[in-house]
């Protein structure tokens, strides 16, 4: 497995988006292109990556990509996806930010208008079809909870990274995610423990999973909490401790990927 | 408006379930029957109410209720719903816990099997059709984020109660919820501020909404955090400060309901 396609998942509020953003940044240090996909219609991955609301609003959600690709390639939607991404003809769906290529699944809809099934189906097809070079990666920030799993949105990723905090509810969600990700045929399921304040909390998470499943821990950071009212949410993922932790997680992921 | 039908909503991790459980308990002090509906397939409302995993697993999800009601009434699904709930013939879908009648929307599904559209549609129809007496109430704990709003699951409730914590992301979600709930024709949209640690945080939330929109605040409680690793999650909603706060919120809701 040389292909890095990661979905970041977990219970609402555990810090998925902050962890995903820091992981994306850490991969952007070693990889030429990191596709950062916001798979949550209640989105804030862009902000966490330091992409402004205006900039992220300018790009079209990937659900609208199908027709465009068809019109370029004149054939099936996905077979020629990578060439067209490379020749910048679908730049309206991709916001470039250094080595990061940000995409988002869908827009906020009108209340009572419809579900996000179409968006999830398209995203699944897109991520499955992406052929990655060795220096490319895909990291998706999934919606809270488990519906993206029952829908199979992350089918086609190689690694499901489940973020947990030291609470029984978040561990229970992670255990559901593990089971459902296995149903999807996702080869590898790993855990990151977030918001750790004590050894007891760290041990609680370690004991809840199999040996080797927990790739790393991130300490609770009061700074991130304090700054969460500020416009500049990017400060959370720019936190040096967090980035350092995610570099270690990246190396573990790449080590396993190279070895298998 | 004498009919109390409330949906509790907000960004993942803000404390929706804890707030919903405490509100349900406070209504159970003054109302004969409080229908407590877990509208999140990644569910933990039962635990927060002190209903064990085994007990909640024994009852069937309401999505399976349709055929049963039809077989009892011999006609349309919803017109005769209340009588049948009252005569206990659909007890397999309702767990009675004091004045609380707990129901859950759906089960955890197999990964990649399907979405929760059917469950959401049924729940919407169920809640809209429920005719309540003055001493009855419905309180639904919704899934994280906004898809239950784009789906219109809460259409038919009278009050959308949005839980926020002092973070820009949670306020942005609440502003989306407000807009989408208005699209659904929900008459009343109110806010509860949770996890407050300072006057600055309280003011941040107050300033983010219209005067009168914020019904109350709940202080950050380290006890709830500390105990979140324990099996007995019910302790969170049993916290006396929280219950006291929700009693005040209840009185404001009933005051407004009586006056309109």
Residue bearing tokens 């559901």: A176
How high is the pLDDT of residue B221?
A: 87
How high is the pLDDT of residue A77?
A: 46
Whether residue A117 and residue B120 make contact (CB cut-off 8 A), yes or no, is no
- Identify the structural domains of chain B with CATH numbers, from first to last: 5-259 (3.40.50.300)
pLDDT tens by residue, B207-256: 999 999 999 999 998 888 888 888 765 667 778 899 999 999 999 999 97
Burial of A2 (0-12, 13-18, 19+ CB in 10 A): exposed
A156 contacts on B by Cβ (under 8 Å): none
B113 contacts on A by Cβ (under 8 Å): 150, 152, 183
Residue B96 three-state SS: strand
Q: Check CB contact of A44 with chain B, cutoff 8 Å.
A: yes
The DSSP secondary-structure symbol of B109 reads: P
| pLDDT of A49 higher than 70 | yes
Q: How far apart are CA A213 and CA A1, in angstroms?
A: 18
Interface with A, mutate which of B47, B124, B229 (most A CBs under 10 A): B229
Residue B146: CB atoms within 10 Å: 27
pLDDT band at A36 (very low <50, low <70, confident <90, very high): very high
B107 contacts on A by Cβ (under 8 Å): none
Residue B84: CB atoms within 10 Å: 15
Q: Which residues contact B158 (CB under 8 A, 6 or more apart)?
A: B1, B3, B4, B5, B6, B186, B187, B188, B257
DSSP character string of B185-234:
T-SEEEEEEEEE-SHHHHHHHHHHS-TTTEEEEEE--HHHHHGGGSS-TH
| Positions in chain B short of pLDDT 50 | 1, 76-81, 83-84, 259-260
How high is the pLDDT of residue B130?
A: 78
B77-82 LR contacts (CB < 8 Å, sep 24+): B77/B125, B78/B125, B78/B126, B78/B128, B78/B129, B79/B129, B81/B126, B81/B129, B81/B130, B82/B130, B82/B131
Residues of chain A with pLDDT > 90: what percent? Answer: 52
Q: How far apart are CA B141 and CA B54, in angstroms?
A: 20
Whether residue A110 and residue B182 make contact (CB cut-off 8 A), yes or no, is no
How high is the pLDDT of residue A106?
A: 85
CA distances from A190 to A16, A143, A210, A217, B120 (A): 13, 17, 10, 12, 30
How high is the pLDDT of residue B182?
A: 93
DSSP character string of B5-71:
EEEEE-STTS-HHHHHHHHHHHHHHH-SEEEEEEE-SS--HHHHTT--HHHHHHSPPGGGHHHHHHH
Nearest to A168 among B12, B108, B231 (CB): B231
How high is the pLDDT of residue B69?
A: 63
Q: Check CB contact of A141 with chain B, cutoff 8 Å.
A: no
Phi, psi dihedral angles at B212 (to 5 degrees): 90, -15
Nearest to A111 among B13, B183, B233 (CB): B183
Interface with B, mutate which of A16, A111, A230, A235 (most B CBs under 10 A): A111
Q: How far apart are CA B103 and CA B119, in angstroms?
A: 12
CB within 8 Å of chain B, chain A residues 48-87: none
B109 contacts on A by Cβ (under 8 Å): 150, 180
pLDDT tens by residue, A170-201: 999 999 999 999 999 998 999 999 999 999 99
Question: Tokens representing A128?
Answer: 């499955």
Q: Check CB contact of B175 with chain A, cutoff 8 Å.
A: no
Strands B95-97 and B100-104: antiparallel
Q: Which residues contact A25 (CB under 8 A, 6 or more apart)?
A: A49, A100, A237, A238, A243, A246
A184 contacts on B by Cβ (under 8 Å): 111-112
CB B218 within 8 A of CB B242: yes
- The runs of H, that is alpha helices, within A49-150 are 53-58, 65-73, 81-86, 117-129, 147-150
Q: Check CB contact of B180 with chain A, cutoff 8 Å.
A: yes
Q: How far apart are CA A24 and CA A192, in angstroms?
A: 15
Whether residue A145 and residue B41 make contact (CB cut-off 8 A), yes or no, is yes
pLDDT tens by residue, A124-166: 888 887 778 889 999 999 988 889 999 999 888 999 999 999 9
Nearest to A229 among B11, B166, B230 (CB): B166
- Average pLDDT of span A3-23: 94
Q: Check CB contact of B150 with chain A, cutoff 8 Å.
A: yes
CB B39 within 8 A of CB B140: yes
Whether residue A201 and residue B168 make contact (CB cut-off 8 A), yes or no, is no
A160 contacts on B by Cβ (under 8 Å): none
Phi, psi dihedral angles at A40 (to 5 degrees): -120, 120
Nearest CA in chain B to A113: B150
Give B96 to chain A, closest Cα distance, Å.
23
Q: Check CB contact of A176 with chain B, cutoff 8 Å.
A: yes
Whether residue B147 and residue A108 make contact (CB cut-off 8 A), yes or no, is no
Q: How far apart are CA A170 and CA A175, in angstroms?
A: 9
A115 contacts on B by Cβ (under 8 Å): 115, 117, 120, 147, 150-151
CB A81 within 8 A of CB A129: yes
B180 contacts on A by Cβ (under 8 Å): 108-112
Least confident of A2-6, A49-53, A62-66, B15-19: A62-66
How high is the pLDDT of residue A123?
A: 86
CA distances from A38 to A24, A56, A139 (A): 12, 11, 9
CB B143 within 8 A of CB B163: no
The DSSP secondary-structure symbol of B153 reads: T
Nearest to A111 among B116, B117, B182 (CB): B182
Q: How far apart are CA A246 and CA A219, in angstroms?
A: 12
Handedness of CA B168, B170, B172, B178 (dihedral sign): negative
Whether residue A230 and residue B14 make contact (CB cut-off 8 A), yes or no, is no
Tell me what the pLDDT averaged over chain A comes to: 86
| pLDDT of A85 higher than 70 | no
How high is the pLDDT of residue B235?
A: 65
CB B234 within 8 A of CB B52: no
Q: Check CB contact of A126 with chain B, cutoff 8 Å.
A: no
Whether residue B42 and residue A176 make contact (CB cut-off 8 A), yes or no, is yes
Phi, psi dihedral angles at A174 (to 5 degrees): -60, -40
pTM for the full predicted model: 0.89
Whether residue A112 and residue B183 make contact (CB cut-off 8 A), yes or no, is yes
pLDDT tens by residue, A223-258: 888 888 887 656 677 788 999 999 999 999 998 755
């Amino acid at each position: 497995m040389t292909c890095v396609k990661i979905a970041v998942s977990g219970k609402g509020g555990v810090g998925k988006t902050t962890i995903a953003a820091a992981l994306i940044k850490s991969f952007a240090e070693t990889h030429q292109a990191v596709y950062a996909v916001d798979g949550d219609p209640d989105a804030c991955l862009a902000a966490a990556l330091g992409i402004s609301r205006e900039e992220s609003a300018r790009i079209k959600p990937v659900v609208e990509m199908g027709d465009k690709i068809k019109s370029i390639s004149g054939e099936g939607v996905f077979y020629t996806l990578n060439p067209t991404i490379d020749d910048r003809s679908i730049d309206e769906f991709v916001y470039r930010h250094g080595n990061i290529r940000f995409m988002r699944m869908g827009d906020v809809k009108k209340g009572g208008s419809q579900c996000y099934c179409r968006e999830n189906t398209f995203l699944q097809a897109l991520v499955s079809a992406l052929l990655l070079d060795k220096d490319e990666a895909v990291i998706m920030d999934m919606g809270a909870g488990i519906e993206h799993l029952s829908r199979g949105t992350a089918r086609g990723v190689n690694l499901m990274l489940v973020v947990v905090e030291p609470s029984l509810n978040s561990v229970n969600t992670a255990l559901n995610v593990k089971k459902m990700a296995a149903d999807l045929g996702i080869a590898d399921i790993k855990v990151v423990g977030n918001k750790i304040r004590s050894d007891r909390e760290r041990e609680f998470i370690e004991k809840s999973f199999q040996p080797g499943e927990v790739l790393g821990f991130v300490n609770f950071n009061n700074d991130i909490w304090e700054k969460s009212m500020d416009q500049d949410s990017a400060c959370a993922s720019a936190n040096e401790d967090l980035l350092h932790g995610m570099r270690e997680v990246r190396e573990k992921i790449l080590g396993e990927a190279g070895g298998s």
